[in-house]
Copies of this chain bind each other. A is one copy, B any other.
């Protein structure tokens, strides 16, 4: 309850309430806002090689950090509005992935794996 994600969610609730914006913060609208921000994040990497993306210059990294902040904001707000614990939900998916992707069978290979694998 007093962890950092919960504190962020509470700040977002108060931010919305102070502006009477709760009416706009339906899950449908927040999912769209999240998609818009993820689009901006993806755009930062679109012309970089994978290697370049792993070695960002300070200006690009600052923009990436800013976009990550926007994405996290809408993701936490959306999860709060629908009543989902993000970290629990992530661990539940990882439990599935642990079972599905045997380390020995899938080692070093995105080929053997379905599109969503690594």
A interface vs B, CB < 8 Å?
3-5, 8, 11-12, 15-16, 18-21, 23-29, 31-54, 56, 61, 64-66, 68-73, 75-76, 78-79, 81-82, 84, 86-94, 97-98, 101, 103, 106-108, 110, 113, 115-118
Give the Cβ gap from A91 to chain B, nearest Cβ, in Å. 7
Q: Pick the contact of A39 from B27, B28, B40 — CB < 8 Å?
A: B40
Q: Pick the contact of A21 from B4, B25, B37, B110 — CB < 8 Å?
A: B110
**B43 and A42 within 8 A (CB):** no
**A87 and B46 within 8 A (CB):** no
| In the complex, chain B residues whose CB is within 8 Å of the CB of A108 | 19-21, 23
